[in-house]
A and B are shown apart, each in its own frame.
Chain A
């Protein structure tokens, strides 16, 4: 089946620094990937839609200058949290269509636990 690899799985950074999270589709091409944020004991909230070769589409309330998304190839999307602050600490998850279309459901990465100290 489709596999989405997300790296790193955990990262701790200092306030004010930037952190890059990678999301790769291992055995299929993904023109569209999605980035979610999940706070403890809460559901997944869509942050942005990452489109290969074009600008990402951000959900309302998500700062595009703070959460930089780059989808430079059909197998890789990156999310960079710039000038991170403690309130950015969260579980970040990416997903991509599994190759069979959106109706087959999306394959999710294993998530990245970001802790900003």
Chain B
């Protein structure tokens, strides 16, 4: 089936650092979505991307829809402690169903 490869799987951040994560797929998606999930909660939508090449920002978050429609990245600038959590990319496929990436776990450096 269709799969999204998300990297990195986990990363440590220090407050103030910029963070970058990405997703790639062997299949084309017409819509890419980025979600954040806090422990014990459902995912919350951060950014939705609709067009190849589209670059969209939401506060300190910026995401781009790859020109081939097979990849997307999410950047977080000037990270803060509450950015900790799990970030998922998701592609919208036929039948209006979402395929999720494996997630990127953001943690704070001790």
Contacts and interface: CB of A to CB of B under 8 A. Distances in A.
**Interface size class, chain A:** 20 to 34
Majority secondary structure, B binding face:
strand
Given A46-B97, A49-B95, A108 B48 contact: no
B82 interface: no
Interface residues of B, number: 24
Nearest to A112: B42
A107 B102 CA distance: 19
B48 A103 contact: yes
Interface of B: 1, 31, 33, 35, 40-45, 48, 50, 88, 92, 95-103, 105
19 contacts: A4-B42, A34-B97, A43-B88, A43-B100, A44-B88, A44-B100, A46-B98, A46-B99, A49-B95, A95-B98, A102-B96, A103-B50, A103-B92, A105-B33, A105-B45, A110-B40, A110-B41, A111-B42, A113-B40
